[in-house]
Chain A
Amino acid sequence: MNLRDVIAISKGEILTPQLSADAEIFSGCCADLMSDVLAYSRPQAVLLTGLINPQVVRTAQVADVRAIVFAHDKQPPPETLAIAVQENIFLIRSPMSMYELSGKLYAAGLRSCDADERA
């Protein structure tokens, strides 16, 4: 799935207009626990989360997560945005809940990050 599709499906607002939205997203991951992001995400994934602190972006960077969608229209602080731009991690703000976001993206064909491991 293209990152532009993720933006459209999540009815998202782009928080990092400086970054290119031309990216392929391979899978999705939903977590409010940073250890779970590190353990279960895959490179080029999109992370759905309710956390907005700068560590979310740091975690995403270490785990090669490509984009983050903040649920419930939560606005991250400037530090979070600054690290994201520096590390080329695309940020999106969506009015949907994490549950709805996961459902919509999954229905559109985006598979779960850890789908391979359980298969």
Chain B
Amino acid sequence: MNAPRPPTEQEKFGRHRPLTDRDAHEINRVEELSYDLKIHEIIAAEVVAIAPDAPLSDALDLLRLHRISGLPVVDEENLVGIISVEDILRALQNGEIHLPVKNYMSADPVSVRASDSIVEAIKIFTETGLGRLPVLNENKRLIGIITKGDITRGILRAVQHDYQEEEVRRYRASHLFEDIVSDRTTLVLRYAIQAGDFTHGGNASANIKRALLRLGANPQLARRCGIAAYEAEMNLIIHTAKGGVLKLEVESNEIVISAADDGPGIEDIQKVLQPGYSTASDQIRAMGFGAGMGLVNIQRTVDAMELKSAPGKGSKLIMRIAMSADDKKGAL
């Protein structure tokens, strides 16, 4: 005569609370990875299983041998249950280790699909407190087991991979000047800037700053170049008839940023260099620009600035930033 057994792990916790919108909101890189990574990418290739009629002592031997804490129970390729260390401990307590696995397993276990994102498994783990979940393929056949440990290892591997990729990119870029031998190597980046394109305003400067960081420039130098380029880029957007070209030239000892346009040109160069002189519209001022400080700012930021203009023809602004040995963290 069997006393009614206490509920198994699976029965006790079951599956409940769905993920709310609020939960879904709290996403960072690791969480992003939990959506990107699929369950089949992180689980072990081999799965150890046991038959429902096998004795519990065999299950215990398998757990010991493979140093795992739970086993799927499979009957003719169909998943019928799961047996965990906890279940076996209960059997031991009751002196029933000789009974078949099916007497102590959790039947109809909660499972996940191999093609699911690992976030599905994370959700079930947090909702239920379960320790392991069987993984089924599209034909409902068992192909593995996923544990919290698999998830941690999978995410750590992916994060490390991300990090290495950026390192490799940075390494490759920073050796550009060493790897290519010439009497004078210059790297030129050109960006076409559209007049009035506030939506993309600053994108070119952001890319310039990023490129310099990848080339191994120190953050202060990249920041100075970003600031000068940004003011110049906004000037092209605000003040030109048809936009212009923003150009970055990186040489071994100097960075030259230039902004060139073909109109309308500047009547009085001395006037535009005065702090606070501006011809910008109220609409532009409402966006936080056009207060007549752009060129003043550039002058403060760079080592040398030159502004040339012919009314009716166009303007060219050249900004030079010298590089000390200190600035060249990488090869730059």
Could you tell me if B28 and A59 are in contact, using CB atoms closer than 8 angstroms? Answer: no
Could you tell me if B231 and A19 are in contact, using CB atoms closer than 8 angstroms? Answer: no
- Known contacts A17-B27, A35-B297; decide if A51 and B227 are in contact (CB<8 Å): no
B residues 161-177 near A (Cβ < 8 Å) are none
Taking the closest CB of chain A, its distance from the CB of B27, in whole angstroms, is 5
Could you tell me if B297 and A38 are in contact, using CB atoms closer than 8 angstroms? Answer: yes
Could you tell me if A55 and B28 are in contact, using CB atoms closer than 8 angstroms? Answer: no
Q: Does A32 contact B (CB under 8 A)?
A: yes
Q: Does B13 contact A (CB under 8 A)?
A: no
Interface residues on A, range: 20 to 34
Q: Which of A34, A43, A62, A79 contacts B288 (CB 8 A)?
A: A34
Once bound together, how far apart are the Cα atoms of A63 and B224, in whole Å?
Answer: 8
Interface membership of chain B positions 290-301, coded 1 if the CB is closer than 8 angstroms to chain A and 0 otherwise: 010110110011
Q: Which residue of chain B lies nearest to A51 when distances are taken between CB atoms in the complex? A: B288
Could you tell me if A55 and B202 are in contact, using CB atoms closer than 8 angstroms? Answer: yes
Once bound together, how far apart are the Cα atoms of A43 and B229, in whole Å?
Answer: 17
Once bound together, how far apart are the Cα atoms of A63 and B25, in whole Å?
Answer: 28
Which of B229, B230, B234, B300 lies at the interface centre, i.e. has the most chain A CB atoms within 10 A of its CB?
B230
Once bound together, how far apart are the Cα atoms of A117 and B148, in whole Å?
Answer: 52
Could you tell me if A38 and B198 are in contact, using CB atoms closer than 8 angstroms? Answer: no
Interface membership of chain A positions 54-84, coded 1 if the CB is closer than 8 angstroms to chain B and 0 otherwise: 1110110111100000000000000100000
Q: Does B38 contact A (CB under 8 A)?
A: no
Q: Which of A20, A33, A58, A63 contacts B203 (CB 8 A)?
A: A58
Taking the closest CB of chain A, its distance from the CB of B140, in whole angstroms, is 35
Q: Which of A18, A43, A64, A87 contacts B28 (CB 8 A)?
A: A18
Within 8 Å CB of B28, what residues of A?
18-20
Taking the closest CB of chain A, its distance from the CB of B15, in whole angstroms, is 26
Within 8 Å CB of B226, what residues of A?
62-63
Q: Does B90 contact A (CB under 8 A)?
A: no
Q: Which residue of chain A lies nearest to B229 when distances are taken between CB atoms in the complex? A: A62
Once bound together, how far apart are the Cα atoms of A58 and B28, in whole Å?
Answer: 21
Task: Give residues in B with beta carbon < 8 Å to A.
Answer: 25-28, 198-199, 201-203, 205-206, 209, 219-220, 223, 226-227, 229-231, 234, 287-289, 291, 293-294, 296-297, 300-301
The 8 closest A-B pairs by CB, nearest first: A58-B202, A35-B293, A62-B226, A34-B288, A62-B230, A38-B227, A51-B288, A18-B27
Q: A35-B231, A55-B202 are in contact. List 12 more A-B contacts (CB 8 A).
A: A17-B27, A19-B28, A34-B288, A38-B231, A43-B220, A51-B287, A55-B288, A58-B201, A58-B203, A58-B205, A59-B202, A59-B230
Task: Give residues in A with beta carbon < 8 Å to B.
Answer: 17-20, 31-36, 38-39, 43, 49, 51, 53-56, 58-59, 61-64, 79, 87
A-B contact pairs, 8 of them (CB 8 A): A33-B291, A34-B288, A34-B289, A55-B201, A58-B201, A59-B288, A62-B202, A62-B230
